[in-house]
Amino acid sequence: MELYFAPMEGVTGPQFRRAHHNYFSGVDQYYLPFISPTQDHVFTPRELRNVGPQANEGIPVVPQLLTKRAGDFIWAVKELGKMGYREVNWNLGCPSGTVVAKGKGAGMLADLRALDEFFETVFSADLGGVAISVKTRLGLESPEEFPALAEVFARYPISLLILHPRIREDYYKVPVREEEFVKALPLIGCPLCYNGGLVNAEGCARAAEKFPKLRGLMIGQGLIADPALARKARGGPPASWEELQAFHDALYQGYLRDFASEKNAVFHMKELWSYFFRLFEGGEKLFKQIKKAQNGSSYESAVNQIFRTLPLREEADWSR
């Protein structure tokens, strides 16, 4: 079973993907944080820094698009195909209020006719051999919406359906609705991936055993808290002190280099530590120092103490 790294805006950017891929094995594909093509049909410099081939050389990545306009989607797919990508993912699951209000992401699940028309237009176009996968939820307001959604999905050659078993109203706070995922299984004819609530090796093993016909599992927060999680899920060893510190240092130096701003680099490292701290025993005062750090010196001081003094946990602690 394949293991995919979920896209997380502000965290899994090119610097993170490069450092993670260099130090930890086990991830088959990294799905990129979404880009939103517009009617201008031009990728912004920021988007190119994320999706450009030079930013992902040697790393197995899949771009993700967020749009409700089929024409903009088709343009972007063709451009990404020219860059060498063979799969593009459509985001139908983002629960953000601003995204949903615009009828994008999970907001598009409310209009089956518009969804069907989008797919009809996209799959009628010449996409140059680029496969289209879809990341979605059970519905907007109720899991009872999914059977009708599945009927639409079944009419088109979706290469992979990544199903997050929550509705939009759940955001990421309500526990995943695994019983609804079980109900959805017989409704789906294309390759399927399970996404949601996988935060340790035991959970990954349980999902793989319970759903053996899945193409893969997608992991997000769990892989940020424990960068070795995919390797552990495949029976490999946990992260060593040396690996974790080397990974951290490579990521930090990558931010310093690419942002040319110590303040921005520290800000992005704080995003990492909001998950990463779960892998360390104790150290609440040191983690607070990281949150308060305004410059590289204070940040580095706190991090050095963490790596020098705190014991590692076997699994990330999600009760904190």
CB 87 within 8 A of CB 133: yes
Is 157 a domain residue?
A: yes
Sign of CA dihedral 242, 243, 244, 248: positive
pLDDT score of 5: 98
pLDDT exceeds 90 at position 173: no
Domain boundary among 142, 161, 196: 196
Would you place residue 320 in the very low, low, confident or very high pLDDT band (cuts 50, 70, 90)? Answer: confident
293 and 191, same domain (yes or no): no
What is the average pLDDT score of the chain?
Answer: 96
29-31 sheet: strands from edge to edge: 61-62, 29-31, 2-5, 216-219, 192-195, 161-167, 131-139, 87-92, 64-65
What is the SS3 assignment for 319?
coil
Closest CA to 127 of 46, 65, 42: 65
119 and 263, same domain (yes or no): no
In tens, the pLDDT along 22-52 reads 999 999 999 999 999 999 999 999 999 999 9
In tens, the pLDDT along 205-242 reads 999 999 999 999 999 999 999 999 999 999 999 999 99
294 and 192, same domain (yes or no): no
**In this predicted structure, which of 24-28, 114-118, 246-250, 257-261 has the lowest mean pLDDT?**
257-261
181 and 256, same domain (yes or no): no
152 and 249, same domain (yes or no): no
pLDDT exceeds 90 at position 278: yes
246 and 189, same domain (yes or no): no
* Domain extent at residue 300: 241-309
156 and 76, same domain (yes or no): yes
Domain boundary among 135, 163, 196: 196
pLDDT exceeds 90 at position 319: no
Say which DSSP state 133 is in.
E
pLDDT exceeds 90 at position 172: no
pLDDT score of 170: 87
CB 259 within 8 A of CB 15: no
pLDDT score of 107: 95
266 and 132, same domain (yes or no): no
Is 118 a domain residue?
A: yes
Please give the distance of CA 197 from its chain centroid, rounded to a whole number.
13
Is 253 a domain residue?
A: yes
175 and 43, same domain (yes or no): yes
Is 18 a domain residue?
A: no
* Average confidence (pLDDT) over 55-69: 97
Percent of the chain with pLDDT over 90: 96
Is 11 a domain residue?
A: no
pLDDT exceeds 90 at position 253: yes
Return the amino acid letter for 178: E
Total domains present in the chain: 2
Domain boundary among 196, 224, 258: 196
Cα–Cα distance for residue pair 64/83, rounded to 1 Å: 14
